[in-house]
Amino acid sequence: MLKRHLGAALIALFSFLSQSSAILHAQLPPPQEQPSVLAEIRTTIIRTIGAQPETVEIAVTENNLTVLRINSNMNESTHGGRDNEANAIAPIVSKAISGRVEFKNLSTIRVQYVVRSAAGAASKIVDTIDFRKTPSGVFEFHKT
């Protein structure tokens, strides 16, 4: 009889401990999140090319990573000028995504120059410069 009471008490104790442990975990603040790789890429691009923060956005699909240059001063430049800037941006992206599993399916890094009249509004594309992944995994400037 004593064994049954002791067994029931142990079961109740373990049940209580597991519930209080779950409550304790629920009350702890979530661990501080590290900046995402996309935010880090954006920050590095802004710093490297001297862009205004509101002129740089990054969008990712399954196969493409697009750096949008929105209403930038490069919209008024020549195609060659935009090529030069894109050639500075692509290695930043390539280095940051190298070896990261979440980007293994990317085939193109695209730098796209757009005019946007308002946030969320449709954009007019001024120029697009692509860097395609070679079989060796390197992103190279793509001439059309």
Are the C-beta atoms of 129 and 111 separated by less than 8 Å? yes
Q: β-pairing, 108-116 with 123-133?
A: antiparallel
Q: Label residue 23 exposed, middle or buried (CB < 10 Å: 0-12, 13-18, 19+).
A: exposed
10 or 105, higher pLDDT: 105
Q: What is the pLDDT of residues 68-114, one digit of tens each?
A: 999 999 999 999 999 999 999 999 999 999 999 999 999 999 999 99
Q: Which residues of 63-75 are buried (b: 16+ CB within 10 A; e: fewer)?
A: eebbbbbbbbebb
Q: How confident is the model at residue 115 (pLDDT cuts 50, 70, 90)?
A: very high
For 15-62, the pLDDT digits (tens) are: 544 443 333 333 433 333 345 999 999 999 999 999 999 999 999 999
The amino acid that residue 104 corresponds to is K
Question: pTM, whole model, 2 decimals?
Answer: 0.74
Domain boundaries, the chain: 37-141
Best CATH choice for the domain 37-141 from the list 3.40.190, 3.30.960, 3.30.70, 3.30.2420? 3.30.70
Instruction: Give the model's confidence band at 132: pLDDT under 50 very low, under 70 low, under 90 confident, else very high.
Output: very high
